[in-house]
């Protein structure tokens, strides 16, 4: 099992180019199931979750070709299977995103339930209810969702009881080829959905229009046309490197993302003391001498502060000049990094869904264990400013979502080595 060895403290300085967004690529890849013609996807990040999604699509009977520039072309074969196996869906919740397209285009699907994970129970009831309103019938047996829609899906008006990224994506994917108009209310509006998935589908001929803050209207179309599309840059990766620059009191230029997309995070970093210059598609960020604390930071759905950056910000606030509080409002158990940060010297206590961070911690290198994707990157960030050697075990979690992070960090001055 691979591990990272980091020898700190390191100061980050230089330029980082962002990879394509994992969370935008996953629903876009699931959407390729809706096509008859080949689709070319550019800028896919080379991370484990994307390789798993490509394997899942391949297992359904599609051909995946890589061209000279490493873009993926997804080509439909004559016969498509409608079975998404446990072995592929268990490692990645986004596997459930094939259900909407399969039921919409092929009118039947047998999909493994993704199951829970360390950060919370993560049920799929909102996905199933929304697809049910479009005409899908299902039963759950032996860990699988057996679904069918013999007469095809029909447009409907659906209001999600709670905002869900995955359920919004699954419903949009299903409604794209459904008969008639679908209106989805109380949708997730993460840029991966409202910008990238929408642009991708509309470019192929879908009729998707966003109305107001959280509603979308989808006029079903008969077919989508083969296209070539480049996925947006990863905003969570961008936020992660911003935090790494600030905690190390360094200075980096991060290329590839429009700063407006992460304006909430950038405002927070400014409040903490960072100096930030925004360009059209890049950010120049410089850490302050003294990091200021934040009274109360709550995770929220977009355009609020993202739960995916909660762990990296916690590492940062451990180094602030006083007490901060982080409240996790999206997932019930997303504090698995706390125990590991404490091993480096952090002073954090948990009361229900709040983490109280004492601040002014001097980190000293230690051996650490990754527990999930974003928790692992928080440990990397903390180890960068810890004195001495840190070993981070089980980095396969991190490999699910960060492309060549050790190469990117080494290039800007971090003493980091992958031990195999």
How far is it, in rounded angstroms, from Cα 340 to Cα 392?
A: 10
Cα angle value 232/121/102 (rounded, 5°)? 55
Nearer Cβ to ligand UD1 (155/166): 166
Q: Report the nearest approach of ligand UD1 to the CB of residue 263 (Å).
A: 17
Which listed residue (10, 117, 238, 318) is catalytic?
117
How far is it, in rounded angstroms, from Cα 316 to Cα 291?
A: 8
CB nearest ligand UD1: which residue?
A: 166
Could you tell me whether strands 3-8 and 39-42 are parallel, antiparallel, or unpaired per DSSP bridges?
Answer: unpaired
Nearer Cβ to ligand UD1 (22/249): 22
How far is it, in rounded angstroms, from Cα 346 to Cα 356?
A: 11
User: Would the CA dihedral through 76, 79, 107, 25 be positive or negative?
Assistant: negative
Sheet of strand 3-8, all strands in order from the earlier edge strand to the far edge:
367-369, 388-393, 3-8, 416-419
* SS3 state of residue 25: helix
DSSP output for 387-405: BEEEEEE-THHHHTT-TTH
Q: Report the nearest approach of ligand UD1 to the CB of residue 27 (Å).
A: 7
User: Would the CA dihedral through 231, 235, 238, 240 be positive or negative?
Assistant: negative
Nearer Cβ to ligand UD1 (28/344): 28
Nearer Cβ to ligand UD1 (93/133): 93
Q: Is 318 a catalytic residue?
A: no
Site of interaction with ligand UD1 (CB under 6 A): 23, 26, 93-94, 120, 122-127, 162, 164-167, 188, 307-308, 330-331
Nearer Cβ to ligand UD1 (251/372): 372
Q: Report the nearest approach of ligand UD1 to the CB of residue 225 (Å).
A: 26
Q: Report the nearest approach of ligand UD1 to the CB of residue 337 (Å).
A: 14
DSSP state of 93: G
Q: Report the nearest approach of ligand UD1 to the CB of residue 195 (Å).
A: 14
The set of catalytic residues is 117
């Amino acid at each position: 099992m691979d591990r990272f060895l980091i020898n700190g403290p390191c100061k980050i300085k230089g330029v980082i180019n962002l990879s394509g967004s994992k969370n935008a690529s996953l629903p876009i890849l699931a959407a390729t199931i809706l096509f008859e013609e080949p689709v070319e996807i550019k800028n896919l990040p080379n991370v484990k979750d994307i390789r798993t999604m490509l394997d899942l699509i391949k297992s359904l009977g599609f051909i995946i070709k890589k061209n000279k520039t490493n873009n993926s072309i997804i080509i439909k074969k004559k016969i498509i299977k409608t079975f998404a196996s446990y072995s592929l869906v268990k490692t990645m919740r986004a596997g459930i995103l094939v259900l909407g397209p399969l039921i919409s285009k092929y009118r039947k699907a047998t999909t493994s339930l993704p199951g829970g994970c360390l950060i919370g129970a993560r049920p799929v009831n909102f996905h199933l209810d929304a697809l049910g309103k479009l005409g899908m019938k299902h039963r759950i047996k032996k860990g699988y969702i057996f679904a069918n829609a013999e007469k095809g899906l029909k447009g409907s008006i659906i209001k999600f009881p709670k905002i869900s990224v995955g359920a919004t994506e699954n419903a949009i994917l299903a409604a794209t080829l459904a008969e008639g108009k679908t209106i989805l209310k109380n949708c997730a509006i993460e840029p991966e959905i409202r910008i990238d998935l929408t642009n991708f589908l509309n470019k192929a001929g879908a009729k998707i229009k966003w109305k107001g803050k959280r509603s979308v209207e989808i006029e079903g179309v008969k077919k989508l046309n083969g296209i070539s599309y480049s996925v947006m840059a990863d905003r969570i990766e961008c936020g992660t490197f911003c935090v790494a620059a600030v905690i190390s009191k360094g200075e980096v230029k991060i290329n590839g993302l429009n700063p407006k997309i992460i304006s909430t995070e950038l405002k927070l970093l400014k409040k903490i003391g960072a100096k930030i210059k925004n360009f059209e598609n890049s950010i120049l960020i410089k850490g302050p001498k003294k990091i200021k604390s934040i009274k109360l930071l709550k995770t929220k759905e977009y355009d609020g502060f993202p739960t995916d950056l909660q762990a990296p910000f916690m590492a940062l606030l451990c180094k602030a000049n006083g007490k901060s509080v982080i409240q996790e409002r999206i997932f019930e158990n997303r504090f698995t990094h706390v125990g590991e940060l404490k091993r480096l010297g952090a002073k954090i206590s948990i009361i229900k869904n709040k983490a109280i961070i004492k601040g002014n911690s001097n980190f000293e290198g230690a051996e650490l264990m990754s527990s999930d994707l974003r928790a692992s990157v928080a440990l990397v960030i903390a180890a960068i400013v810890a004195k001495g050697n840190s070993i981070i075990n089980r980095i396969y979690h991190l490999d699910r979502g960060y492309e060549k992070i050790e190469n990117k960090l080494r290039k800007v001055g971090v003493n980091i080595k992958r031990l195999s």
